[in-house]
């Protein structure tokens, strides 16, 4: 097997691991990875604006708003316009959102981050520069750099 075959195989394994984790997440919690990430951000930051959520999770405000719309329809989050600045809207978790979040599995990237941070600094740098080079070689410079894929809506369990 050539070295480029091994690289492509490793990339397929990464994609497959991400896909399997997303499916497990969806099946166990009924949430997509971006939905879970946004809900965790709301929980961790408290009263938070949509812009702050978007910056924290590296998604556009439009994408965050669409995801919040879906979560709000499921009564997992609610939004309140700021009384001090009417241009700002704050997102909050509902009790049902808190309960689902408490039962949801750990996002794949959290496990990765723990293992990555345990590496020596030179090894972290080597991985980062190598992956940046691979992304460039695959003409991925103009793709959405979101940390997690948005796999779309997940049907509610109750209908």
110 and 85, same domain (yes or no): no
51 and 99, same domain (yes or no): yes
42 and 74, same domain (yes or no): yes
Q: How many domains does the chain have?
A: 2
40 and 96, same domain (yes or no): yes
121 and 58, same domain (yes or no): no
Report, as an integer, the average pLDDT of 148-152.
Answer: 48
Q: Using the predicted structure, report yes or no on whether residue 17 has a pLDDT greater than 80.
A: yes
98 and 138, same domain (yes or no): no
Indicate whether 157 belongs to any domain: no
The residue range of the domain holding 113 is 106-142
Indicate whether 24 belongs to any domain: no
C-alpha to C-alpha distance for 157 and 159, rounded to whole angstroms: 6
C-alpha to C-alpha distance for 4 and 115, rounded to whole angstroms: 25
More confident residue, 2 or 26: 2
Cβ partners under 8 Å of residue 134, min gap 6: 7, 11
DSSP string of 39-93? HHHHHHHSSEEHHHHHHHHT--HHHHHHHHHHHHHTTSEEEEE-SS-TT-EEEEE
C-alpha to C-alpha distance for 147 and 21, rounded to whole angstroms: 14
Residue 54 token pair: 């978007």
Instruction: Name the band, by pLDDT with cuts 50, 70 and 90, for residue 146.
Output: low
More confident residue, 149 or 119: 119
Report, as an integer, the average pLDDT of 66-84.
Answer: 93
Indicate whether 70 belongs to any domain: yes
Indicate whether 20 belongs to any domain: no
101 and 122, same domain (yes or no): no
49 and 97, same domain (yes or no): yes
Indicate whether 155 belongs to any domain: no
Nearest to 82 by CA among 48, 59, 39, 43: 48
**CATH classification at residue 58:** 1.10.10.10
What does the pLDDT look like over 28-72, one tens digit per residue?
Answer: 778 888 899 899 999 999 889 999 999 999 899 999 999 999 999
pTM of the model: 0.68
Burial of 22 (0-12, 13-18, 19+ CB in 10 A): buried
Burial of 88 (0-12, 13-18, 19+ CB in 10 A): middle
Instruction: Name the band, by pLDDT with cuts 50, 70 and 90, for residue 106.
Output: confident
Indicate whether 131 belongs to any domain: yes
Taking the chain, what is the end-to-end CA distance rounded to the nearest angstrom? 48
């Amino acid at each position: 097997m050539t070295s480029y075959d091994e690289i492509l195989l490793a990339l397929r394994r990464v994609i497959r691991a991400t896909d399997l984790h997303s499916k497990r997440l969806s099946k166990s919690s009924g949430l997509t990875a971006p939905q879970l990430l946004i809900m965790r951000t709301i929980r961790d930051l408290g009263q938070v604006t949509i812009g702050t959520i978007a910056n924290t999770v590296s998604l556009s405000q439009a994408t965050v708003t669409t995801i919040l719309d879906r979560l709000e329809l499921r009564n997992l989050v609610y939004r309140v316009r700021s009384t001090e600045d009417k241009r700002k809207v704050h997102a909050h978790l509902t009790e049902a959102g808190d309960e689902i979040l408490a039962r949801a599995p750990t996002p794949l990237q959290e496990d990765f981050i723990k293992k990555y941070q345990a590496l020596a600094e030179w090894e972290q740098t080597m991985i980062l520069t190598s992956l940046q080079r691979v992304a460039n070689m695959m003409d991925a410079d103009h793709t959405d750099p979101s940390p997690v894929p948005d796999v779309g809506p997940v049907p509610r369990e109750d209908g």
